[in-house]
Amino acid sequence: MSTDAVLYDHPGPRARARNRILTVAFGVLLLALLFWIYRKFEEKGQWAATLWEPFTKSSTWTDYIWPGFKNTLAAAAVAMVLSLVFGVLFAVGRLSDHWWLRVPSGVVVEFFRAVPLLLLMFFIFFGIPFVTEKPMPNFWAVVIALTLYNGSVLAEAFRAGVRAVPIGQSEAAYAIGMRKGQVMGQILIPQAARAMLPVIVSQLVVLVKDTALGYIISYNELLQLGVNNLAANFGNVIQAAIVAAIIYIAINATLTAVAGWLARRTRRSGRAPRATTTGPAVLTGAGGEPGAGA
Amino acid sequence: MRITRLAATFGAMAMVLAAAACGGDDSDNASGGASTASGIVGKAAGGKLTFGVKADQPGLGLQTGSTYSGFDIEISKIIAKGLGVPESGITWKTTVSANREPYIQQGQVDVVVATYTINDERKQKVNFGGPYFIAGQDLLVPVASTITGPESLAGKKVCSVSGSTPAKRIQTDYKDAQLQQFDSYSKCVTALAGGQVDAVSTDDIILAGYASQDQYAGKFKVVGKPFSTEPYGIGVKKDDTAGCNKINDILKAAAADGSYKKAWDDTLGKSGKAAPELDVSKLTNCS
Amino acid sequence: MDVFSDPTNRDVYVTGFLWILKLTAASSVFALVIGTALAAMRVSPVPVLRAFGTAWVNIFRNTPLTLIIFFCYFGLYSTLGFTASDNLELNNYWLGVIGLSVYTAAFVCEAIRSGINTVPAGQAEAARAIGMTFRQTLTMIVLPQAGRAVIAPLGSIFIALSKNATIVGTIGLAESSNAMKDLINSNGNAVFQIFFVFAGTFAVVLIPTGYGFGWLANRLAVKR
């Protein structure tokens, strides 16, 4: 249901007046709060030019923030791809007809969903080298931990998505002679992924944020370089953290916006094949441009 | 060697025999006396070495962009030079207090010069050259503070880095103090500047580095009553006796030819503190 | 040999998990209250309330929790002068609770909002037709039904919350991630044992909790 319109009547004069009063009252309250925060910051000298000045120098950006930003994105990007792969594999594993595939996949997914990422990262970095006798680069410790955790969450999302696909879809696919793998790969997973797109994207946002934990094992990401090291040079830990927070919000807002655009696109292109599902066009149309019909 | 220790751990858990623990120690030593080819002397012949240093300690090891500066960095350069590695062959790697032993054991770094106190517990895991400097745990307080030493900490809030030796010492020896732990000293110093904690405690030399930063000039003082002895060593792999001896030889030479003093004067000495004497008789025996 | 047979180590372990428990308990209550209020704001007829709700969600959901906890210490406590207790540990605990609450509330708000979307429009229209106000429609018709629909997502959110509580360790609370770090530091040869005990504790508590929420969600599901 569309929340905006249905929950309340179109406001009449009295409702409009009341809304205006609420708007003004709440607005004033909010502004007062913001002003108070501003004054408190001023009182403590947090607006002092010397603390903010470093951010006007290009070297601050090229030496700390940009390398940190790149490392954050690198770890996030690799972990995103790997956790999507991990998610699909283990979702399929959990849906398998074979118990020897289903049970271990279930155990892995449930375990990694339940363990705090912080513990996982710490263990991979300090514990695994005891077995492999090789150092664990901190980049991979971050990526592996993120993959295991977010991949497990995504596996559950895919599984729920697959189970939400109407049973008639797979029955029809079997009826036209598709094998199990084909049904999963060509019928169920694509629909599940589309249905679960909001969940997948919010999990990817979680993943980007979780790269921030990498600083605990001294991976040079945005928090390590942009907050800890920067502040060690300029003594402006609060200011550096504010700048870092803005960057994170920007990355994630962008990600969410891209996802929204993608969702609209897939919804549009989704309509085209549905209209021709019954026709033979689907078989030949596989090579067609996705979304070209819209 | 690590695998044997791990195996010993599990083995002992399974067997529930007290003797197994001794067996674990023995196998440690047996596999520990490996060749020196894997040591830093052998690696240095290839013209490349990786140094583990601190990145957030002004005056000692501070990362500014991709370059590092500080006393530890200068000492690292002296060691590298002594081993025949050009400055361009040095790779710097940031270490934090909690990961120095694993970094050496796993070979992530070849040498650690990172305000690294020599103690018996660590000696079981790594080999130490040096000490190249003797620090002591001290307190950094606001100029107007009434704190005169660790005895006057009762009821006060003291900040240190989580899991570090100074933090543990406050916890065990000065139980009346309340301990605030952060993951970096810059956060501790910020909390001190804001008045949330009454003192920051770690090695005097680290504190001096922060006290002399521009934005804190004239605000803080180091109490000046060290209550521990922290000989800073240079960590290498446990079995690298040859490398350790070589480091000590290089330090001896550096003390004699003035390059040690120059390293100090270029970094921490800028605060006006005279260079300490490098006491070559105190160098470790590398066993 | 056995790390956990040492009473001091066991103490560290127990204290760590007690903090996690206390953090989770307090934060889930606050997060639920704040989150519900935010969700109500986001669907309200007053634009400034809607904007406030949207801003809250976008800011807190997109910032790493590490940074939020950090701001609780250095912003709220250090700069704004908010002090919950003179005891350093308790003060950090409450700062952690605030950080976890405002962060989790953003997720709770979104879960409830999507729960509201599962209630058929006809229900709200019928409520309005018989003359109910916005508040009545929301509290008597929509939220009770939405509440049942959001049990499963709320379950995942609270499970995530209890794991996220480990991040309060970054402002020095001796919760289980710090406890694990401490134990590993002093018992480097028992890394595996230590990890599996800590991770196992989380798994043993959280996996059944997850299934419990799933069962509850099924039981209370609104039949349509």
**Chain A contact for B31 (CB, 8 A cutoff):** no
Alpha carbons C188 and C12: distance in angstroms, whole number: 16
DSSP secondary structure string for all residues of C5-55: GSHHHHHHHHHHHHHHHHHHHHHHHHHHHHHHHHHHHHTSS-HHHHHHHHH
Candidate from C120, C137, C203 with C-beta closest to A111? C203
Indicate whether A267 pLDDT > 70.
no
Q: Is the pLDDT of residue A270 over 60?
A: no
Contact C116 A1 (CB under 8 A): yes
pLDDT tens-digit series, residues A142-163: 999 999 999 999 998 888 888 8
Cα C183 to its chain centre, rounded Å, is 27
Q: What is the pLDDT of residue A80?
A: 92
Instruction: Answer yes or no: do A1 and C48 touch at CB < 8 A.
Output: no
Give the pLDDT band of residue A279 (cuts 50, 70, 90). very low
Residue predicted with more confidence, A45 or B142: B142
A241 to C74: CB separation less than 8 angstroms, yes or no: yes
Number of inter-chain CB pairs under 8 A, A vs C:
159
Yes or no: say if B49 and B80 are a contact pair by the CB < 8 Å rule.
yes
CATH class of this structure's domain A59-270: mainly alpha
pLDDT at C94 over 90: yes
Class of B137-222 in CATH: alpha beta
Query: What are the pLDDT digits (tens) for C149-197?
Result: 888 889 989 999 999 999 998 888 888 988 888 887 777 678 888 888 9
CATH architecture of C3-220: Orthogonal Bundle (1.10)
Supply the pLDDT for residue C36: 92
pLDDT of amino acid B6: 46
Does residue A133 or residue B168 have the better pLDDT?
Answer: B168
**Confidence check: pLDDT of B15 > 60:** no
Residue A190 vs residue A272, higher pLDDT: A190
Task: Give start and end residues of each alpha helix (H) in chain C.
Answer: 7-42, 47-61, 65-71, 88-118, 121-129, 134-136, 143-149, 151-164, 176-186, 191-220
Tell me which range, A176-180, B124-128, C19-23, is most confidently predicted by mean pLDDT: C19-23
Which residues of C make CB contacts under 8 Å with B?
1-2, 73-74, 77-79, 87-89, 92, 169-172, 178, 181-182, 185, 188-190, 192-193
Determine whether the interchain pair B179/C88 forms a contact, defined as Cβ–Cβ distance below 8 Å: yes
B214, closest residue in chain A (CA to CA)? A234
Give the pLDDT confidence score for residue B271 in this predicted structure: 67
Please tell me which of the candidates A133, A218, A235 has its beta carbon nearest to residue B99. Answer: A218
Residues of C in contact with A210 (CB under 8 A): 64
pLDDT at A197 over 70: yes
Residue ranges of domains in chain A: 59-270
Q: What would the pLDDT profile of A55-87 be if each residue is shown by its tens digit? A: 888 888 888 888 889 999 999 999 999 999 999
* Chain B residues touching residue C169 (CB < 8 angstroms): 162
Q: What is the ipTM of this complex?
A: 0.84
Chain B residues close to A52, C-beta within 8 Å:
none
Q: How far apart are CA C95 and CA C99, in angstroms?
A: 6
Would you say A235 and A159 are in contact if contact means Cβ atoms under 8 Å apart?
A: no
Q: What digits encode the pLDDT tens for the residues C59-76?
A: 998 899 999 999 999 888
Percent of chain C with pLDDT over 90: 38
Residue A1 pLDDT > 60, yes or no? no
B23 versus A195: which is more confidently predicted? A195
Average of per-residue pLDDT across B83-111: 83
Contact C78 A238 (CB under 8 A): yes
Same fold, B40-135+231-282 and B137-222: yes
Contacts of A30 in chain C (CB under 8 A): 48, 52
Which chains neighbour C (Cβ–Cβ under 8 Å, 3 or more pairs)? A, B
Q: What is the band of C23 on the pLDDT scale with cuts at 50, 70, 90?
A: very high
Q: Are the Cβ atoms of B216 and A133 closer than 8 angstroms?
A: no
pLDDT in tens, A85-121: 999 999 999 988 889 999 999 999 999 999 999 899 8
Which pTM value belongs to this model? 0.81
Tell if the CB–CB gap between B65 and A63 is shorter than 8 Å. yes
> Containing H/E element for B112?
strand B111-117
According to the model, what pLDDT value does residue A38 have? 87
| Cβ within 8 Å, pair B2-A235 | no
**pLDDT at B276 > cutoff 50:** yes
Stretch B144-150: mean pLDDT: 85
Q: What is the pLDDT of residue C224?
A: 65
pLDDT value at residue C105: 95
Regarding the domain delimited by B40-135+231-282, which CATH topology (the fold level of the hierarchy) does it fall under? D-Maltodextrin-Binding Protein; domain 2 (3.40.190)
pLDDT value at residue A293: 27
Contacts of C77 in chain B (CB under 8 A): 196
pLDDT of residue B246: 85
Sheet with B67-69, side-by-side order of all strands: B56-57, B61-64, B67-69
